[in-house]
Structure 1
Amino acid sequence: MRLRNKPRAAGEIAANPQYITTTPAEFKGQWQSKFTQNQPLSIEVGSGKGRFIVEMAKANPERNFIGIEIQQSVAIMILEKQLTAQLPNLYLIQADGGELTDFFADDEVAQIYLNFSDPWPKTRHAKRRLTHQLFLKMYQAILQPQGSLQFKTDNRGLFEYSLISFNQFGMQFDDLSLDLHADEAPENIETEYEQRFSQMGHPIYLISAHFE
């Protein structure tokens, strides 16, 4: 889906460095300086319009959160939510989440969320999937020992691919659901896509895992 360009976006992002950056490599290893308290750091790769990351920050004040979104016209929507909420434990990055090891130091992150990532269904595009082993190597580098990776999707093909990818990488599974909403998972915060797909009757798949 092509998103409408928002002419004000670049200016508004530049005017609010206390909430968002477009140069995340500058803060590698120093992200705790962006928050009022030094707390476990969770990141979401591909935050969309920001419902998940904003609500997670509200519900978990004892943790710090960073939402990463590549599209400027979408990142501005998250920023606007944060300008209203002014959550002390939420920060935003407008940049390509495929370069995480340039942004975060080894063992700097406690948890990674991948929510409704692009499935890239064609075989020749497999390396672009955020659960491909190339990405898993990056996640492993920046995650603390026993740090967790949580993945949600409505795409059965991507779910099955991710199960195999995690298993072949030697990850340990902590939680698995073939229909998250039917399982009545406690404290599940939905993304915008999740709400839409669930209302359409799509099952929501979940994997929670960690590296050995």
Structure 2
Amino acid sequence: MRLRKKWWARPEMEASSLTITEVQKYKGKWKEEFKNQNDIYLELGCGRGKFLYTQALNNTNINYIGIDLKDEVLIYALKKLQEDEVTNARIMPMNIAQIEEVFDKDEISRIYINFCNPWPKRRQKKRRLTHTVFLNRYRKFLKLGSEIWFKTDDRELFEESQEYFKENNFEIRYLTYDLHSSDFTENVVTEYEEKFTSLGMKTMFLIAKML
């Protein structure tokens, strides 16, 4: 569904210190931005921010950055953070394809990819956030031993992503085809996940460690 343009969103976002718009300026300086030495976790495609907000609120010893292309959803992520005065999270409106321009070597300790676009057509698959093209980009700024946590409801994407990770020297440390019936206890439910779980759809999940 096409999002209705919210012309007021960008000015409101830019008025907040929690929004980073000149993203390239922060490469290599994220510890300075957060004013501490805590690990930084990155959510790619944070949408309306329920996952980002919940993680940051519950883990104040970790810094979080949420990226999404659309101001129309990021504004809601910002409002959640502002409501509870969450200070250990930032949002960035940008195209994830430019991500290697934003982070320097060893700056990120974990990546979350929650229900990304499955891009099912053959010519589109390089756009997948789990594809080799993107995994190579992440390697440039992930710490050795860092993890990527990946959730999807698309079986083809899930199974092909397992191959992408293995081909790019990631070890799959946890895997389930039915997250909500598994023994995994650290799941934070996204807005999308909540909606489609109620309709009977299963969430697939894996953790891949960079070797």
TM bin (shorter chain): over 0.9
After superposition, the CA RMSD in angstroms is 1.0
Please list the CA deviations of residues 127-164 of structure 1 after superposition, one character each: whole Å capped at 9, or x if unmatched. Answer: 11111101000111110010111100011111011011
Q: 2:2 is matched by which residue type in structure 1? A: R
CA distance in 2, matches of 1:206, 1:152: 4
CA distance in 1, matches of 2:47, 2:60: 21
Q: 1:22 is matched by which residue type in structure 2? A: T
Stretch of structure 1 that moved more, 167-176 or 31-40: 31-40
Deviation at 1:36, TM superposition (A): 4.3
CA distance in 2, matches of 1:98, 1:192: 24
Deviation at 1:59, TM superposition (A): 1.2
Equivalence for 1:57: 56
The answer as to 2:14 corresponding to 1:14 is yes
Q: How does 1:74-89 map to 2 (within 5 A)?
A: 74-89=73-88
Unaligned stretches of 5+ in structure 2? Answer: none
Stretch of structure 1 that moved more, 114-123 or 78-87: 78-87
Equivalence for 1:103: 102
Deviation at 1:184, TM superposition (A): 4.3
**What's the secondary structure of 2:181's corresponding residue?**
coil
Q: 1:181 is matched by which residue type in structure 2? A: H
Give identity over the alignment, percent: 35
Q: How does 1:168-207 map to 2 (within 5 A)?
A: 168-207=167-206
- TM-score with structure 1 length normalisation? 0.96
CA distance in 2, matches of 1:160, 1:76: 33
The answer as to 2:8 corresponding to 1:4 is no
How many residue pairs get matched?
211
Q: 2:75 is matched by which residue type in structure 1? A: I
Please list the CA deviations of residues 22-53 of structure 1 after superposition, one character each: whole Å capped at 9, or x if unmatched. Answer: 22111001112222432000000100110001
Asked whether the equivalents of residues 18 and 87 of structure 2 are also in contact (C-alpha less than 8 Å), the reply is no
Deviation at 1:85, TM superposition (A): 1.8
The answer as to 2:59 corresponding to 1:69 is no
Asked whether the equivalents of residues 47 and 73 of structure 2 are also in contact (C-alpha less than 8 Å), the reply is yes
CA distance in 2, matches of 1:133, 1:54: 29
CA distance in 2, matches of 1:176, 1:140: 21
